[in-house]
Chains A and B, each alone.
Chain A
Amino acid sequence: MSAPSAIAGTPPLLRASLKHEARSFAPWIGIATALSVSSVIVYPWLFPEAVERRRFAATVGANPALGLIFGPAYDLSTVDGFNAWRSLSIGGFLTALGVIFIVVKASRGQEDSGQAELLASGVLGREARLLTALLMAGVCALAVGVVSFAFTVLCGGAWESSLLLSAGFTVTGLMFAAVAAVTAQIASDARTATSIAVAVLGVLFVLRGFLYSVSAPRWTAWANPLGWITETRPATGNHWWPLLLGLAFAAVFVAIGFALQVSRDFGQGLIASRPGPARGTARTPLALAIRINRGPVVSWSVAFVGLGVIFGYFIRTVRDLFSVNPALAEIFAKGATLPAELLAGFLATILTLIGIVAAIAGVQIVNRVRTEELEDRAEPVLATAVSRSRYLAPSVLLAFAAPALFILIAGVVIGALAAAAHIGLNFGYSPLQAVATIPAVWTVVALAVAVIGARPRVQIASWAGVLVSFGLTLFGPSFKLPGWALGISPYYHVPHVAAGTQDWRGLLWISLFTLAFLVIGFAGFRRRDVP
């Protein structure tokens, strides 16, 4: 930052912004805290005996699919070790996601909406807006750390490891606030800025899990900023100094962000928009829906090729994993003894994870309908000869078709890689398992259609399906939930196609829910006011 005049007006702007936006910090603070607190409360209750803890450590800790998300399990036989494994990477990821939204909304988003222009003409330094955005993100990241630490210690977490864990959340948040400060300068609008920052976060996150799980060389962990956070190893090593690397990373990216901001014009990005066609080819609601969602669908497709490659390589190592650790059978297929059944269960778990991610894309497309309404773009379209149903249907169609395509892409890639490795899994199984997973994804997406169609005021509820199925799939088994509770997740009903016996009736049941959700969504959308 140059002269003080460049940041003039920051304190009042920050105060006003915090007053309006601080409430939106709550979910991010709440989720990270809940993660950590629930670990320290539930673990002793579930596993009171040392023997049980060791068995749990052996089974869950070695599950490669879980390792992808949570990172390496150093010690699952203590409360704090368990908490560190279960919370560190996910809590950091969510904090990072939160601050990315905060920074882009408060900097780039303000420019797009024109609010910033109003402020920029007042007594406000050039760099005050970006500084305010970063300070807001800093406040949020710090609040995540402080609140999660306080509650974790209150609920029985060890002092030092809990503090280090919470500091890990905060530093992850600071790093990605800085990344978002840079992408907000590069992109030509807020949506693109968010997408790029989230993509960076997502790639680094998946890479971290993948490289730890396949025991890649040590330097790969240090090449990844998220790896530094993992290397703090709360409860098993308590290394503080990697956090300094994170702070340095944040400082460098903040500096780059400010440097880029100075060199660009207000409201423009480094990637400028070029003039486009003077005539349009999109002439129907379907063409419009495709046009609106084209960019995200293409990016997601590429992401799913990547996911397929990662999981495909994963499945090739499965035989080694089984021979080293027979206890894996417990997770992937209860009571299964044949390698084929193990493999079938493993494949189903992997495609469920892919299905959960695909559902995110679907729910996003459904939520886009609401965004169009709120930003007054649905109004002129609905003022033409387009009925409510004809307006909603193409987006729903796309929200169903796109995730189906994504799962198939990943399924085919995994199938090809698995078949090439000769591990006893024919090429066809993986795509078939992908097809079997699609109806479960549709149930989750249809729930979002029901919410957006009938009760858009509770828009956040459209994500309920994704959150619940994610929570039940990942945390359900480790918390020994009963079958009926696990069955709330539609993915629980997906048959294992590579196993000998299959039960397809579950898919029929969840599809009835899908149908009901769709009827609610369309009926509601026809009856309600827009917006």
Chain B
Amino acid sequence: MTERTTDAELVIDIAGLHKSFGDFEALRGLDLRVERGQVHGFLGPNGAGKSTTIRVLLGLLRADAGRVRLLGGDPWRDVVALHRRLAYVPGDVSLWPSMTGGEAIDLLGSMRGGLDEGRRADLLQRFELDPSKRGRQYSKGNRQKVAIVAALASDVELLILDEPTSGLDPLMENVFQEVLEEAVGRGATVLLSSHIMAELETLADRLSIIRDGVIVESGTLTELRGQARTTVHADLATLPAHEQLSMLYDVELRGHRLTATVDSDRIGQAMEGLLPFGLTALTVEPPSLESLFLRLYEDEQTPDRR
């Protein structure tokens, strides 16, 4: 959120969004900007407000307060015009019990304004999906495939994907990543909500992390990593005292092996600090999205922790 772009380039532009359900405040001042051509990762645990945000973007829920612009329009008012330009994969895919997957794909595709026949056939084949099964016979993963094929078989500017791969096996997840990259290659913008870190690390250009209805971090993966801590494993000849390791966090000593984390911009300082103790082996792990994510959420649970 450091750089500002002009509104014309923003596909999603949310500022100060509030939404409550009765007494429960699901969104409390959420800001989200997604530029054209980006894959924007939307990260957060269950119940943080991801799906609520997406439903506001789809015009299913009405915002209580705040500014919401989608593809330059108002998602509540300009439903039909906007929805022709986007496709959506819900987190919980529920199909009509007696309708086959193929029928559901054609129905949703037609109501969006038509789908690409060639791509429909190609996607069915790559996802190994049998379109002649009835809705009630599909497993969760296969229901999700139906929704993914229905969404990706259309040529749209924006893909809104709410945990699209939570039921897919690793093979299918690979296929999904390929297919999504192809869509991006065609110029699509993607809002990808997920809590699968590896998927976001591979796909996302930018990330926004949501907690309790507000965005707590937003930026590119590198930017976010800069704020996170690197993990250091070191074998030491002599044991240091705790106060000699003030630049390290989460220090754990097991025999002569030290495990700790360090702010990414202070790695050099940490190495210098460790050298006097006879460094015999050293591994340095760059911060993973997961560690960043966990840190953000741990901070909430134990606010005083250093």
- Determine the chain A residues whose CB is within 8 A of the CB of B160 once the complex forms: 383
Given A278-B100, A283-B111, A380–B83 Cβ distance below 8 Å?
Answer: no
- Determine the chain B residues whose CB is within 8 A of the CB of A388 once the complex forms: 79
- Determine the chain B residues whose CB is within 8 A of the CB of A284 once the complex forms: 110-111
- Determine the chain A residues whose CB is within 8 A of the CB of B87 once the complex forms: 383
Could you tell me if A380 and B60 are in contact, using CB atoms closer than 8 angstroms?
no
We find that the number of chain A residues with CB closer than 8 angstroms to chain B is: 38
Could you tell me if B108 and A189 are in contact, using CB atoms closer than 8 angstroms?
no
Could you tell me if B94 and A280 are in contact, using CB atoms closer than 8 angstroms?
no
Could you tell me if B60 and A379 are in contact, using CB atoms closer than 8 angstroms?
yes
Instruction: Determine if A8 is an interface residue (Cβ-Cβ < 8 Å).
Output: no
CA distance A382 to B75 in the complex (A): 12
Could you tell me if B132 and A275 are in contact, using CB atoms closer than 8 angstroms?
yes
The stretch of B27-35, B133-141, B183-191 in contact with A is B133-141
Within 8 A of A (CB), among B16-73: 55, 58-62
- Determine the chain A residues whose CB is within 8 A of the CB of B106 once the complex forms: 279-283
Instruction: Determine if A529 is an interface residue (Cβ-Cβ < 8 Å).
Output: yes
Closest A residue by C-beta to B89: A380
Could you tell me if A279 and B103 are in contact, using CB atoms closer than 8 angstroms?
yes
Least CB distance from A118 to B in Å reads 13
Within 8 A of B (CB), among A465-488: none
Given A377-B95, A379-B90, A277–B132 Cβ distance below 8 Å?
Answer: yes
Instruction: Determine if A381 is an interface residue (Cβ-Cβ < 8 Å).
Output: yes
Closest B residue by C-beta to A114: B140
Could you tell me if B136 and A112 are in contact, using CB atoms closer than 8 angstroms?
yes
Instruction: Determine if B92 is an interface residue (Cβ-Cβ < 8 Å).
Output: yes
Closest A residue by C-beta to B60: A530
Could you tell me if A376 and B136 are in contact, using CB atoms closer than 8 angstroms?
no
Instruction: Determine if A24 is an interface residue (Cβ-Cβ < 8 Å).
Output: no
Could you tell me if A380 and B132 are in contact, using CB atoms closer than 8 angstroms?
no
Within 8 A of B (CB), among A282-313: 282-285, 287-288, 291-292, 295
Interface centre among A277, A375, A379, A388 (most CB of B within 10 A): A379
Could you tell me if B99 and A278 are in contact, using CB atoms closer than 8 angstroms?
no
Instruction: Determine if B84 is an interface residue (Cβ-Cβ < 8 Å).
Output: yes
CA distance A386 to B82 in the complex (A): 10
Instruction: Determine if B206 is an interface residue (Cβ-Cβ < 8 Å).
Output: no
Instruction: Determine if A387 is an interface residue (Cβ-Cβ < 8 Å).
Output: yes
- Determine the chain B residues whose CB is within 8 A of the CB of A112 once the complex forms: 136
Instruction: Determine if B147 is an interface residue (Cβ-Cβ < 8 Å).
Output: yes
Could you tell me if A292 and B58 are in contact, using CB atoms closer than 8 angstroms?
no
Could you tell me if B94 and A375 are in contact, using CB atoms closer than 8 angstroms?
yes
Closest B residue by C-beta to A188: B136
Q: Mark B137-154, 1 if CB is under 8 A from A, else 0.
A: 100000000010010000
- Determine the chain B residues whose CB is within 8 A of the CB of A323 once the complex forms: none
We find that the number of chain B residues with CB closer than 8 angstroms to chain A is: 45
Q: Mark B89-118, 1 if CB is under 8 A from A, else 0.
A: 010111111111011111110111100000
When the two chains form the complex, which single residue of A275, A281, A291, A384 contacts B108, counting CB atoms closer than 8 Å?
A: A384
- Determine the chain B residues whose CB is within 8 A of the CB of A277 once the complex forms: 100, 102-103, 132
For the complex, would chain B's binding face be called helix, strand, loop or mixed by DSSP majority? mixed
Instruction: Determine if A273 is an interface residue (Cβ-Cβ < 8 Å).
Output: yes
Least CB distance from A9 to B in Å reads 25
Instruction: Determine if B88 is an interface residue (Cβ-Cβ < 8 Å).
Output: yes
When the two chains form the complex, which single residue of B79, B88, B105 contacts A280, counting CB atoms closer than 8 Å?
A: B105
Least CB distance from B53 to A in Å reads 14
Least CB distance from B51 to A in Å reads 10
Instruction: Determine if A4 is an interface residue (Cβ-Cβ < 8 Å).
Output: no
CA distance A400 to B256 in the complex (A): 80
- Determine the chain B residues whose CB is within 8 A of the CB of A379 once the complex forms: 55, 58, 60, 90
Instruction: Determine if B271 is an interface residue (Cβ-Cβ < 8 Å).
Output: no
CA distance A379 to B112 in the complex (A): 13
- Determine the chain A residues whose CB is within 8 A of the CB of B80 once the complex forms: 385-387
Instruction: Determine if B219 is an interface residue (Cβ-Cβ < 8 Å).
Output: no
Instruction: Determine if A335 is an interface residue (Cβ-Cβ < 8 Å).
Output: no
- Determine the chain B residues whose CB is within 8 A of the CB of A386 once the complex forms: 80, 83, 111
- Determine the chain B residues whose CB is within 8 A of the CB of A288 once the complex forms: 107
Could you tell me if B92 and A384 are in contact, using CB atoms closer than 8 angstroms?
no
Could you tell me if B103 and A385 are in contact, using CB atoms closer than 8 angstroms?
no
When the two chains form the complex, which single residue of A276, A281, A291, A528 contacts B134, counting CB atoms closer than 8 Å?
A: A276
- Determine the chain B residues whose CB is within 8 A of the CB of A279 once the complex forms: 102-103, 106, 131
CA distance A432 to B50 in the complex (A): 56
Least CB distance from A133 to B in Å reads 20
Could you tell me if A278 and B131 are in contact, using CB atoms closer than 8 angstroms?
yes
Could you tell me if A189 and B88 are in contact, using CB atoms closer than 8 angstroms?
no
Could you tell me if A377 and B96 are in contact, using CB atoms closer than 8 angstroms?
yes
- Determine the chain A residues whose CB is within 8 A of the CB of B99 once the complex forms: 276, 280, 282, 291
- Determine the chain A residues whose CB is within 8 A of the CB of B55 once the complex forms: 379
CA distance A285 to B100 in the complex (A): 17
Closest A residue by C-beta to B83: A385
Given A189-B97, A275-B132, A282–B103 Cβ distance below 8 Å?
Answer: yes
CA distance A287 to B136 in the complex (A): 20
- Determine the chain A residues whose CB is within 8 A of the CB of B102 once the complex forms: 276-280
Given A288-B107, A385-B113, A280–B100 Cβ distance below 8 Å?
Answer: yes
CA distance A292 to B97 in the complex (A): 9
Closest B residue by C-beta to A190: B97
Could you tell me if A276 and B111 are in contact, using CB atoms closer than 8 angstroms?
no
Within 8 A of A (CB), among B230-250: none
Could you tell me if B111 and A384 are in contact, using CB atoms closer than 8 angstroms?
yes
CA distance A375 to B96 in the complex (A): 10
Q: Mark A185-212, 1 if CB is under 8 A from B, else 0.
A: 0001101000000000000000000000
Could you tell me if B133 and A275 are in contact, using CB atoms closer than 8 angstroms?
yes
CA distance A284 to B99 in the complex (A): 14
CA distance A295 to B145 in the complex (A): 27
Could you tell me if A382 and B60 are in contact, using CB atoms closer than 8 angstroms?
yes
CA distance A273 to B99 in the complex (A): 11
- Determine the chain A residues whose CB is within 8 A of the CB of B95 once the complex forms: 377
Could you tell me if A380 and B90 are in contact, using CB atoms closer than 8 angstroms?
yes
- Determine the chain A residues whose CB is within 8 A of the CB of B112 once the complex forms: 384-385
CA distance A530 to B137 in the complex (A): 26
A-B contact pairs, 23 of them (CB 8 A): A275-B130, A275-B132, A275-B133, A276-B99, A276-B103, A277-B103, A278-B131, A279-B106, A280-B100, A280-B104, A281-B106, A284-B111, A292-B96, A295-B98, A376-B93, A379-B55, A382-B60, A383-B90, A384-B111, A385-B81, A385-B83, A385-B112, A387-B79
Which 3 A-B pairs give the minimum distances between C-beta atoms? A280-B103, A280-B106, A283-B110
Knowing that A191-B97, A382-B58 are A-B contacts, what are 13 other residue pairs whose CB atoms are under 8 Å apart, sorted by A's residue number?
Answer: A112-B136, A277-B103, A278-B100, A279-B102, A279-B106, A280-B107, A287-B107, A291-B96, A295-B98, A376-B93, A376-B94, A383-B60, A385-B111
